[in-house]
Structure 1
């Protein structure tokens, strides 16, 4: 494998870098990387890794672009609203660097498709926005023995680490148990400053390049924490627990598969709304509900577990903007009302209006 003259010009500033050079650039060209999530963290990862000359990139995300994404998800524009994020990102990356082979997976990752997809990539980047996917990715990377570059953001703070690298610790060595659904807010519930995922996602891309090229000190066994408000950067060391490397399968995640969730599409819901006995529960935030809604009970996902008494035991459809939060709410309600007939709106209100 060699660099073309066009590539030598394109990557000339990297090639001139002391300690990097052509050897490192060829390593980038030969590697394959999967980015799970094309949101706030995924966008800077995708742009910088494509620009740096990674040979093959995979993007998996079943979500659609919405107006509220644009303040932080820098790949997308107004004309992309309503379109699949992974497919739009693929188009953007081709314009950025046609030398990079990009594959889009326009659906969400789950226990069924996780291992078959991950096995085709050398390194995995966790740019997801929920704990279920993070732990699923971690356990799959343990099974397949692949490094996982992790990041998370909350409010004005972000964190980055590298798991399962050179026999180092995993996510479960740092956070042993997956938090219960509904107990911890996501950025839709708690808010996020737009520049933060850009900073943290770029740090993820930096760690990825260091791993591939064999340069610098990797965040292996270290959690880097950045406080944007106070400009504080600190790291916490943690050790591997060998028991967390004994994972053999993803059987414990099977109940999380979307196939186990009853869902309806927008056209079916419009027909069902003619039935006055139908209960609609909108789990978006109050400002989202006020801006546009189809009626029903508004209980944000963040406070749903504490407001179950407001819900009637009758045929119910749960809705949100994209279908992500309603899928989580479905599980919460299904646990508490096992005999209730519950559905969630596939693709959310993005598909309704």
Structure 2
């Protein structure tokens, strides 16, 4: 779909800019006018992580005049294998500061606006309104729906990508000119149904591929060249080195951009993605804290601790007395022949997978609880010497 340029040309290029962007200027599809559009563009990057890292570097190198970075997190050592905008010396620093400095090193002609805060329904409209387009580099469903809805309400496009393990997806959502994110995903998945990268892992180079592709789509929109991914989703399999594409149409029943929209302002996205509350006789899922578990492992030999993570995760760290029964065995039914009699406590990395297993156990009538916060919480409170991942 050929689209008109998103941004008007800015001031003429200086001699320094002509030298810096010379290889752009000799491309007929970009040229001096296109580079002036890039110079005049204002792009907001939501998230300075795996996707945001290459996206920010390439947008800056391309000469996007103003780049906003919003992120409330700090750099962790486990980020470094994929979040290449940060360095070892940045561990513990605010990501927005580390990323802004990296952008300035790449191109000092770019103005960087730091938003060291969490994007939510209150702050998002005021922030996003000041930009021409948004690049969504987030990894959680509440923020994805938030970005989509606010961009749709403001009439702005956003470039979306999602990554998990070895696979990635990419599209441009623009309510009114094509489908929005809600047209493709009308409702979020049940909590815990889609593991995060922290739970399932991600190949380090994968966000580099997808984040760079996001920058490419943003540049195409700004300049008005090529065929942006509006109405199409690109799907990448890094193990097979393949790209596939599926078409997506605007849904006339869409809550945001359909014929009778019900989303007319930002909502509570955490509650929306948590799903409707289900009343049960049992009440909340039974759980134990790390300190309660530590005491039980000493005082009650009847209790069996069940680690539902994958074997390769157990090679990184494990809690003594835990037996390994991966979550997949509960789904196939093979777990029942392995589990001993007596009360069970299940755990995973952070609590999402163990909560799903716990529902299966309680539905089958087994006496069971799960470790709140998983082995991450156990390391934080009980065994800080265990390796983290």
CA distance in 2, matches of 1:10, 1:250: 41
Q: Deviations over 1:170-224 (max 9, x none)?
A: 0111121111221111111111111111011111100100000000001110001
CA distance in 2, matches of 1:320, 1:138: 34
Partners of 1:148 and 1:165 within 8 A in 2: no
Query: Corresponding residue for 1:211?
Result: 221
Q: What are structure 2's unaligned runs of at least 5 residues?
A: 1-10, 274-288, 297-307, 320-344, 363-367, 382-389
Q: Secondary structure at the match of 1:226?
A: strand
TM-score (norm 1): 0.77
CA separation of 1:46/1:21 partners in 2, compared to 1, >3 Å: closer, same or farther? same
Partners of 2:179 and 2:230 within 8 A in 1: yes
CA distance in 2, matches of 1:38, 1:274: 35
Where in structure 2 are the equivalents of 1:312-323 lying within 5 Å? 318=373
Which deviates more, 104-113 or 39-48?
104-113
* Cα offset, 1:304, TM superposition: 3.0
Matched, 1:186 2:236: no
Q: Deviations over 1:51-84 (max 9, x none)?
A: 1000111111111111111111111111111111
CA distance in 2, matches of 1:106, 1:284: 34
Q: Secondary structure at the match of 2:171?
A: strand
Rg comparison, structure with higher value: 2
* Cα offset, 1:94, TM superposition: 1.0
CA separation of 1:278/1:103 partners in 2, compared to 1, >3 Å: closer, same or farther? farther
After the TM superposition, which segments of 4 or more aligned residues of structure 1 sit over 6 Å from their partners? 272-279
Q: Secondary structure at the match of 2:48?
A: coil
Which residue, out of 139, 143, 150, partners 1:129? Answer: 139
CA distance in 1, matches of 2:42, 2:318: 42
CA distance in 1, matches of 2:197, 2:84: 16
CA distance in 2, matches of 1:251, 1:231: 39
Measured on the aligned residues, the alpha-carbon RMSD in Å equals: 3.4
Q: Secondary structure at the match of 1:183?
A: coil
Partners of 2:145 and 2:269 within 8 A in 1: no
Partners of 1:110 and 1:256 within 8 A in 2: no
* Cα offset, 1:298, TM superposition: 4.8
TM-score (norm 2): 0.70
CA distance in 2, matches of 1:125, 1:168: 17
Structure with greater helix share of residues: 1
Where in structure 2 are the equivalents of 1:233-248 lying within 5 Å? 233-244=243-254, 245=257, 246=261, 247-248=263-264
Matched, 1:57 2:73: no
Q: Secondary structure at the match of 1:242?
A: coil
